[in-house]
């Protein structure tokens, strides 16, 4: 039975990847950070009492900023595959915490690679590094492919650039099976609430249900190549199943503005919105509301722009070229953007309906804590 170790197991991708590998028959070990509140919501359904026999999913306390801890966990687990997904993954927040981001996202990767070397596991353990389309940053070429030059535009992207190259260097210097997956944005109902897609789908659900008036967003012009996390974790696994270690772009090849994502998300609940004005004065207003369940009047402002959400340096356009992964990995996404948006909006509508139901019953709910 193969053993996988996942850093960032409590995150969006960690949860989908754990589920995927368990289904493939792996024993899955995850590194989770100590937190003052439970942080395992996304993986609770996979967890079994550790006293049971043949437990296939195990968690270890750890942190990418602590080498001794990583060495100990890797020594204990002796993994066949490591998926290094742990990171301070929010681009905007990285401008506020640049040093920590460099430590966890950049040097954290080095710590994993060095641990493998120190333990003499170079021949046994394969490593997947969670690289990112943010590396392309300021547009040099479209669509972006494996050979496109990098021009990172945030402390996050600069830290990930170090991680990318140190992974390549350890592969070349020590013959390690270490690969970068350069993944374009991927989302899901498990996406963190402060990334733009989830922020929008949550807001759409709450606005439709009357729990919120409007949502403030930043740059509506930026374009992203959005896929579904479920498809993307399969690509991670495929990258480590190849004969020779190499790097891959994983993308859909379709790009969409934040503004169009907003329109699609509202359309899912039967609300047509139109954008008016420009720059920081731009708003989205209700044009029509076909869904009788929701009472939104024509002309109601549902989206406004707040400068606070703009980044000091932005990545304007991301669109990936998936030719290599299609050809070599035979990877093809099952979801398109409409399916992704619909799944996310539906999940958030369900979540907030439950919330409203609890509120009516006199219980404390998510929205009462906000
Ligand atoms: P999330 O933000 O959802 O998850 C990040 C995970 O990393 C969480 O489990 C978090 O723990 C953990 N983590 C954060 N800091 C540390 C640390 N110092 N030590 C150990 N663990 C830590 O990210 P995603 O699942 O979306 O992304 C997974 C990886 O892929 C990340 O590296 C991200 O940068 C990269 N990536 C993501 C893309 C996307 O579109 N989603 C695209 C390209 C790359 P906790 O739960 O405690 O916060
Ligand atoms: P990104 O994702 O920066 O691409 O990084 P995010 O969803 O945060 O932003 C996408 C684009 O939307 C614009 N935007 C806003 N973003 C946020 N978060 N909040 C807003 O209110 C808002 N309004 C507009 C942003 O300016 C940006 O242009 C994600 C992360 O998962 C990274 O870890 C990963 O490496 C990349 O995707 C690929």
Kindly report, residue by residue over 265-314, the tens digit of the pLDDT: 999 999 999 999 999 999 999 999 988 888 899 999 999 999 999 999 99
Sign of CA dihedral 118, 122, 126, 130: positive
Identify whether residues 171 and 207 lie together within a single domain: no
Percent over 90 (pLDDT), the chain: 92
Which of 123, 154, 183 represents a domain boundary (last residue)? 183
Distance of alpha carbon 254 from alpha carbon 120, whole angstroms: 42
What does the block give as tokens for 213? Answer: 């008036």
Q: What residue numbers bound the domain in which 159 lies?
A: 3-183
Cα 298 to middle of ligand 1, angstroms: 40
**CB of residue 191 inside a 6 A radius of ligand 2:** no
Identify whether residues 39 and 79 lie together within a single domain: yes
Tell me whether residue 130 is in a domain. yes
The whole-number pLDDT of residue 368 equals 56
Residue 216 alpha carbon, nearest atom of ligand 2: 21
User: Which DSSP letter does residue 193 get?
Assistant: T
pTM of the model: 0.97
Q: Which residues, at least 6 apart from 234, have a Cβ–Cβ distance to it below 8 Å?
A: 20, 331
Q: Which residues, at least 6 apart from 203, have a Cβ–Cβ distance to it below 8 Å?
A: 212, 214, 215, 302, 303
Cα 275 to middle of ligand 1, angstroms: 33
Q: 329 vs 19, 127, 135, 180, CA distance in Å?
A: 20, 17, 22, 14
| Nearest-CA residue for atom 38 of ligand 2 | 185
Distance of alpha carbon 229 from alpha carbon 226, whole angstroms: 9
Cα 103 to middle of ligand 1, angstroms: 14
pLDDT at 330 over 90: yes
Give the model confidence (pLDDT) of 95-134 as tens digits.
999 999 999 999 999 999 999 999 999 999 999 999 999 9
Starting from the CA of residue 305, give the closest ligand.
2
pLDDT at 370 over 60: no
What does the block give as tokens for 13? Answer: 């991708």
**CB of residue 311 inside a 6 A radius of ligand 2:** yes
Asked if 319 and 148 count as a contact pair (C-beta separation under 8 A), the reply is no
| Cβ burial, residue 67 (10 Å; 0-12/13-18/19+) | middle
**CB of residue 66 inside a 6 A radius of ligand 1:** no
Identify whether residues 76 and 217 lie together within a single domain: no
Identify whether residues 8 and 149 lie together within a single domain: yes
Identify whether residues 31 and 136 lie together within a single domain: yes
| Cβ burial, residue 37 (10 Å; 0-12/13-18/19+) | exposed
Tell me whether residue 91 is in a domain. yes
The whole-number pLDDT of residue 291 equals 86
**CB of residue 106 inside a 6 A radius of ligand 1:** no
Q: Which residue has the higher pLDDT, 48 or 239?
A: 239
The whole-number pLDDT of residue 138 equals 98
| Nearest-CA residue for atom 38 of ligand 1 | 185
Identify whether residues 12 and 42 lie together within a single domain: yes
Starting from the CA of residue 131, give the closest ligand.
1
The whole-number pLDDT of residue 357 equals 86
Q: Which residue has the higher pLDDT, 348 or 362?
A: 348
**CB of residue 88 inside a 6 A radius of ligand 1:** yes
Asked if this assembly's ipTM is beyond 0.95, the reply is: yes
The whole-number pLDDT of residue 31 equals 98
Q: How many domains does the chain have?
A: 2
Which of 121, 151, 183 represents a domain boundary (last residue)? 183
Element housing 104 (H / E): none
Which of 124, 158, 183 represents a domain boundary (last residue)? 183
Identify whether residues 51 and 88 lie together within a single domain: yes
Tell me whether residue 236 is in a domain. no
- CATH code (residue 202): 3.90.25.10
Identify whether residues 168 and 266 lie together within a single domain: no
Tell me whether residue 146 is in a domain. yes
Q: What residues pair up with 319 in beta bridges, in sequence order? A: none
Percent over 70 (pLDDT), the chain: 98
Kindly indicate the confidence band of residue 347, based on its pLDDT and cuts at 50, 70 and 90: very high
Identify whether residues 46 and 121 lie together within a single domain: yes
pLDDT at 366 over 90: no
Question: What mean pLDDT, rounded, does the chain reach?
Answer: 96
Tell me whether residue 51 is in a domain. yes
Tell me whether residue 232 is in a domain. no
Identify whether residues 123 and 269 lie together within a single domain: no
Identify whether residues 272 and 160 lie together within a single domain: no
**CB of residue 214 inside a 6 A radius of ligand 1:** no
Cα 217 to middle of ligand 2, angstroms: 11
Segment 77-92 shows an average pLDDT of 98
Cα 332 to middle of ligand 1, angstroms: 23
| Nearest-CA residue for atom 41 of ligand 1 | 186
What does the block give as tokens for 308? Answer: 């606070």
pLDDT at 207 over 80: yes
Segment 234-252 shows an average pLDDT of 98
Identify whether residues 175 and 201 lie together within a single domain: no
Tell me whether residue 106 is in a domain. yes
User: Which residues are annotated as catalytic?
Assistant: 132, 134, 156
- CATH code (residue 66): 3.40.50.720
The least confident of 135-144, 184-193, 353-362 is 353-362
Residue 183 alpha carbon, nearest atom of ligand 2: 38
pLDDT at 193 over 70: yes
Tell me whether residue 266 is in a domain. yes
């Amino acid at each position: 039975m193969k053993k996988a170790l996942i850093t960032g197991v409590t995150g969006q991708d960690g949860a989908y990847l754990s589920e995927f590998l368990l289904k493939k028959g792996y024993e899955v070990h995850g590194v989770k950070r100590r937190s003052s509140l439970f942080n395992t919501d996304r993986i609770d359904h996979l967890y079994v009492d550790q006293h049971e026999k043949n437990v296939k999913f195990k968690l270890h306390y750890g942190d990418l900023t602590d080498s001794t801890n990583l060495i100990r966990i890797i020594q204990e687990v002796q993994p066949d595959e490591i998926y290094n997904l742990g990171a301070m993954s929010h681009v905007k927040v990285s401008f506020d915490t640049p040093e920590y981001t460099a430590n966890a996202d950049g040097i954290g990767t080095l710590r994993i690679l060095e641990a493998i070397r120190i333990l003499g596991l170079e021949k046994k353990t394969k490593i997947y590094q969670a690289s990112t389309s943010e590396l392309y940053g300021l547009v040099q070429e479209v669509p972006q492919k494996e050979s496109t030059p990098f021009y990172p535009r945030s402390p996050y992207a600069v830290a990930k650039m170090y991680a990318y190259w140190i992974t390549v260097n350890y592969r070349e210097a020590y013959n390690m099976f270490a690969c970068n997956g350069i993944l374009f944005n991927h989302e899901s109902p498990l996406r963190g609430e402060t990334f733009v897609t989830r922020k929008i789908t949550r807001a759409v659900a709450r606005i439709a249900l009357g729990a919120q008036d409007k949502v403030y967003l930043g740059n509506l012009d930026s374009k992203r190549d959005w896929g579904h996390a479920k498809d993307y974790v399969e690509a991670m696994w495929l990258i480590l199943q190849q004969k020779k270690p190499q790097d891959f772009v994983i993308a859909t090849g379709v790009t969409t503005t934040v503004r169009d994502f907003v329109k699609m998300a509202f359309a899912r609940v039967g609300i047509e919105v139109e954008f008016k004005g420009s720059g920081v004065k731009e708003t989205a207003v209700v044009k029509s509301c076909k869904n009788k369940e929701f009472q939104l009047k024509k002309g109601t402002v549902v989206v406004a722009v707040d400068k606070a959400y703009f980044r000091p340096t932005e990545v304007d356009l991301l669109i990936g070229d998936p030719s290599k992964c299609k050809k070599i990995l035979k990877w093809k996404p099952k979801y398109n953007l409409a399916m992704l948006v619909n799944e996310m909006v539906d999940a958030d509508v369900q979540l907030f309906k439950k919330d409203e139901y609890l509120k009516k019953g006199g219980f404390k709910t998510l929205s009462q804590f906000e």
